[in-house]
Structure 1
Amino acid sequence: MGTSSSSSGPKSGVSFDPPWLNSVASELGSPLEKISGEQSSQNPRQIESVNLPLGIAPPGRFGSARRYLGNYAETGDKSSLRKALGSYSRKGMGGASNVAGRMKASTSAGAGLFNFLQGIRNSSDTKVRDWVNQLSAKNLSAYEIADEIINQIISIGGSQEEESCKDSMNQAISELLTIQPDIDLLAMDNDSIWTVMELFIANEAFNRLNFDIGQLFESAKYSSREVVSRMNDMKEYLKSEISAQIQELRKDISNPSTNELNKLLQSALTRTFEIFEDDQ
């Protein structure tokens, strides 16, 4: 399912964003200070919080989204999937900007990962270079290096958002290693870092949807083979749409600050779910 535990999904009559979300998102800023010893308040690339209007979720918020998703699970019909995603966004979440806002921890973590991958490649800070050299000297596998990188960004975890981000980062870097098996994760070029961003945000959107409306995939009426096939197709569809938006937005910003990238990822999610809403 992409996350480690099942859920009945969020309820109606509550805020679209839980009260602790801003706190989690703010803790997932740029991680380079952990190594360099700089104070985050002195860092001009520090994550800027994304604040969106709060709202109360309506009754039966995900009913039609789950119905369309059920049709997709049974038939594999992509139009049913698009309608499920559009209904999830428009009715279930109160609009595409709310979907993006609900994923502010994801975009903060993604911006932090981007900043960190660029930082360990480019940094002139002695402590950062020492960290990279010590890691290189251990003769670790690429997957072990990936774990070390992710642990710098999400060192403790525990919340649903943090565990999901860890899972999505692992998946994104694993997919990159499948595409580029010889890549040096400590010296990645910008195109490879952008690829990781696209894969990470797509994985996060997939996890979010599964947590909110994906419980039907756990039904005994579907075979394991059907479930895996449908979920893989769903993830690939999300990846295609989100990647297209990120690639379009990054044309105007070659080397974004962490704040700029956070806003870019928020915009990419908003635009993606606006497209899904157009199918309603």
Structure 2
Amino acid sequence: MGTSQSSKGPGSGVPMVPSWADAPPLEAADGDDPSTAEGNDRDGDEDDQQAPSPIAPERRWLGVRRSLGNYGKTGDRGAMQRGVGRYVRDGYGGTRTAARRMAGTASTAGALGNALDILAGARTPDSRSAIDPALLGGRSADDIMDAVVEAVRPVDGTQDAEASREAIKDALTEMLTRFPDADLVGLSPEQREFAIERFVAHDVFRRFDLDVGQSIRENAPNATAGLARLRQARDYIKETVSAAFRSLREAGKNIISGRISAVVREALKETFEVFQGYAE
């Protein structure tokens, strides 16, 4: 659970969205067709990406640490929700900047969807694809998951890449637990969609843990309680992400080939809006 690199969060006086994390929202990691995306949503994303990142103010994490420290001590769910809300509002300056900070999550989700489509035979690999179903057939689940991780999120020396690699493996493992008869080289649309949703949830949690998870660990009465409270925070994030995707599905915005990144960006915004609602 979590990582030894968890800290007290990025400092003040620096861009809230690092240049290397400010990926263009229109990159076609999943073969997005711009003509099929929501015009207003994409235009808004383009405006966000072109604007300079806000500079982090002094004491940006003070309220976050106070709430999460209280949660670490007591296990109070309300304190945890306030901490997560302040994480979005104060730590990242609100929903739009928080979603912009997680632009890489949307891009990686698109690449994951592309890889799983290729494995399932739902998409023909092109010359750039690092996934070859013919070579992976008959391999163990661990071997196939490792191949997907390497293809979707290669190591690049950043914490984001390492967190996303772990999130992909977590998501695929959870999908196999949910669907014990699933075949990684022949996943159904439902199974592929579940894996993508769970990747988004795990990736958001890992970013949260890297930034401020230490506040929970340091204030918990013991290591066991600290891990339990981190799991509770992770489950809350997963529940909220799942609810965002469910809301989008009800509005007719499904995770389908060619629209994965766009739908994930919307789900992240909805998720962060819910979180921020608990900031007061």
Scaled by the length of structure 1, the TM-score of the pair is: 0.84
Deviations 1:95-137 (A, max 9, x none): 1111111011111101110122123321345987x9212211x
Contact 1:143 1:174 in 2 (8 A): no
Counterpart of 1:87, as a letter, is R
Tell me which amino acid in the other structure corresponds to 2:79.
S
2: CA distance, partners of 1:141 / 1:99: 37
The answer to whether the 8 Å contact 1:142/1:185 transfers is yes
Q: Could you tell me how far apart the structure 1 residues matched to 2:26 and 2:257 are?
A: 16
**Which amino acid is 2:123 matched to?**
S
Distance 1:28 1:141 in 2: 30
CA distance in 1: counterparts of 2:241 and 2:32, whole angstroms = 28
Mark the CA change 1:114 to 1:66 in structure 2 (over 3 Å): closer, same or farther. same
Deviation of 1:61 after TM superposition, in Å, equals 0.6
Partner of 2:66: 67
Matched, 1:10 2:10: yes
The one-letter code sitting in structure 2 at the alignment partner of 1:14 is V
Q: Indicate if the aligned counterparts of 1:28 and 1:109 stay in contact, CA closer than 8 A.
A: no
Distance 1:189 1:158 in 2: 33
Q: Does 1:224 align with 2:223?
A: yes
Q: CA RMSD in A?
A: 2.8
**Alpha-carbon distance, 1:186 to partner:** 1.3
Distance across 2 between alignment mates of 1:159 and 1:69: 25
Alpha-carbon deviation of 1:181? 2.1
> What SS does the aligned partner of 1:219 have?
helix
Q: Say if 1:237 and 1:131 are closer, same or farther in 2 by CA, change over 3 A.
A: same
Question: For 2:103 and 2:182, how far apart are their aligned partners in 1?
Answer: 29
Take 2:274 and 2:219, find their aligned partners in 1: how far apart are those partners?
32
5 Å-filtered alignment, 1:74-93, equals: 74-93=73-92
CA contact (8 A) 1:146 1:170 kept: yes
**Alignment correspondent of 2:134:** 133
Gaps of 5+ in 1: 31-42
Amino acid at match of 2:181: D
- Counterpart position of 1:277: 276
Residue equivalent to 1:151? 150
Confirm or deny: 8 A CA contact 2:85 2:277 kept in the other structure.
yes
The answer on whether the counterparts of 1:3 and 1:167 sit within 8 Å (CA) in structure 2 is: no
Tell whether 2:20 aligns with 1:20: yes
1:168-213, CA deviations, whole angstroms, 9 ceiling, x for partnerless residues? 0001111111122221111111111111122111111111111111
Q: CA deviation at 1:44?
A: 5.6
Unaligned runs of 5+ in 2: none
Q: Give me the whole-angstrom Cα distance separating, in 1, the residues matched to 2:24 and 2:140.
A: 30
Change (3 A) 1:126 1:89: closer
Q: Please name the residue that 1:39 is paired with.
A: none
Greater mean deviation of Cα atoms: 19-28 or 140-149: 19-28
1:118-129 → structure 2 map (5 Å cutoff)? 118-121=117-120, 122-124=122-124
- Equivalent position amino acid for 1:266 in 2: R
Q: Separation in 1 of the partners of 2:240 and 2:57?
A: 27
The DSSP-based 3-state class of the residue aligned with 2:6 is coil
| Number of residue-to-residue matches in the alignment | 265
1:233 is displaced (CA, Å) by 0.7
* CA shift digits 1:139-167 (9 cap, x unpaired): 32212111111211123332111111100
Q: State the alpha-carbon separation in 1 of the partners of residues 89 and 139 from structure 2.
A: 46
| 1:237 CA displacement | 0.7
2:56 corresponds to: 57
Which range moves more in the overlay, 2-11 or 157-166? 2-11
Partner of 1:100: 99
Q: Which segment drifts farther, 213-222 or 44-53?
A: 44-53
Which residue is 1:213 aligned to? 212
Matched residue type, 2:184:
L
1:170 aligns to what SS in structure 2?
Answer: helix
Contact 1:28/1:105 (8 A) holds in 2: no
Give 2:136's aligned amino acid: L
Equivalent position of 2:182 in the other structure? 183
Counterpart-to-counterpart distance in 2, 1:114 and 1:270: 20
Query: What is the rounded CA distance, in whole Å, between the counterparts of 1:125 and 1:220 in structure 2?
Result: 49
State the identity %: 30
Instruction: Give 3-state SS (helix, strand or coil) of 1:270's partner.
Output: helix
C-alpha separation in 1, matches of 2:98 and 2:172: 24
CA distance in 1, matches of 2:170, 2:140: 16
